[in-house]
Structure 1
Amino acid sequence: MSKSLDELLVERAKRGDVEAFEQLISQHEKTVYNIAYRLTGNHEDASDLAQEAFIRAYSSLADFRGDSSFATWLYRIVNNVCLDELRRRKRQKVTYLDQAVEMEDGEVSRQIADTADGPEQALERVELQRLIQESILQLDEEYRVVLVMRELQGYSYNEIAEALDLNLGTVKSRLNRARSALKEKFMSLELLTPRVVYRARRGKAHEL
């Protein structure tokens, strides 16, 4: 079986080829940044944390044995970096509630009671994006990370379990709790109907 591009680049990077690691960054920087943004809700923090994740990955590259894909290993690192930041932020009681969701890999949509077209609908969509991001940021980090990976990044349950070093049952339990918390939040808002649909990167829709 032929090796993937990531595998070839990792082999070169382990031999000290800096350009190969730069190619790995190019391959994954969008997803790494996107995960960091979903978890922190702040563009500047996401950029800093993405950079920190790549630095950690480079310094730990010799320890990568290939038991999982490089992408899974890398995303586990960025999740850990972000969780460290979230815990630090929680101690300082800092939250970011003013960031709109910017869907790079998909879109967020909903069914609304008033189906009017034009500027009004556009404003409703912007407001929905703000409310979604605010609601995600209010989740405990252990629930937030699985929700982001499943609903916004489109990873399978098994991929999430592997990336976070959790068993499958724990992943499903945390995801169900996160979905329930978001559903309760949306239903408490007069502007929203209960049904919110995430169209994830892989084209799958999930109804809360």
Structure 2
Amino acid sequence: MKSRTEEDRELVQLAQTGDSHAFGMLMRRYTPSLSRFLRRFMRDSDDVEDVIQETFIRAYMAINRFRSDSTFATWIVRIGINAAKDGLALRQRQGPQLASLGDEDDDSKTLVEARADLDTPESRLETKEAMALLEAALATLPEEQRMSFELREIEGLTYEEIAWQMHCPVGTVRSRIHRARDSLTSALRLH
């Protein structure tokens, strides 16, 4: 039985040859987990949907550059993070927008401003630094711990699903995820 990572590799290879069905399978597989991940950082569900769409457009355009140095799940999340940051930067450059509430007159328009707490240079820098620290900390984990952690926290799989994917007992998965969380917490506290 193939692991999810092996299945992803095969789908990526097919997508790299122009197989749109294979890319569609990757999209269906990762849209729910990408959505769950992005909702942790973005409040507006319409924005999340826009970022997901932009993420898969970027991934499709760059699929031939994917080299399996990381898992497809990690790669697609990185693209999603960048798409979310780019979307925020674009909204900030555009400034406040007018949203029409009706067709009558100017009284039917209201000023819609970007969320102040996400719209400051300081918060953008903090987010960028936090993501860089998290990615660096993840990279230091042993492969089994990192993979277990990503399957649980990014893809949202259950412990049982992870055990099946990684061909190991559920207790081993729980232990790996616990150790990964401890390591990540310690690494992030140091900064």
Structure 1's unaligned 5+ residue stretches are 98-133, 161-201
Q: Give, in angstroms, the shift of residue 52 of structure 1.
A: 0.8
Structure 1's consecutive aligned runs of 4 or more residues displaced over 4 angstroms after TM superposition are 136-139, 145-150, 202-206
Q: How does 1:50-69 map to 2 (within 5 A)?
A: 50-69=52-71
Structure 2 contact 92–119 (Cα < 8 Å) conserved: no
Alpha-carbon distance change, 34 to 148 in structure 1, aligned in 2, over 3 angstroms? farther
Paired with 1:141 and 1:38, the residues of 2 have a C-alpha distance of 15
Paired with 1:146 and 1:43, the residues of 2 have a C-alpha distance of 24
Structure 1 contact 33–50 (Cα < 8 Å) conserved: yes
Q: How does 1:12-161 map to 2 (within 5 A)?
A: 12-91=14-93, 92=95, 94-96=113-115, 140-144=123-127, 157-159=137-139
What is the CA deviation profile of residues 78-108 of structure 1, one whole-angstrom value per residue up to 9, with x for unaligned ones?
A: 11111111112233264348xxxxxxxxxxx
Paired residue type of 1:42: D
User: What's 1:172 paired with?
Assistant: none
SS of the residue 2:40 aligns to: helix
Structure 1 contact 89–95 (Cα < 8 Å) conserved: yes
* TM-score for the superposition, normalised by structure 1: 0.49
Instruction: Provide the aligned C-alpha RMSD in A.
Output: 3.4
Paired with 2:37 and 2:18, the residues of 1 have a C-alpha distance of 28
SS of the residue 1:72 aligns to: helix
Structure 2's unaligned 5+ residue stretches are 97-112, 141-176
The number of equivalent residue pairs is 126
Paired with 2:139 and 2:30, the residues of 1 have a C-alpha distance of 16
Alpha-carbon distance change, 16 to 75 in structure 1, aligned in 2, over 3 angstroms? same
Pick the structure with more helix per residue.
Answer: 2
Paired with 1:142 and 1:27, the residues of 2 have a C-alpha distance of 31
Paired with 2:131 and 2:10, the residues of 1 have a C-alpha distance of 29
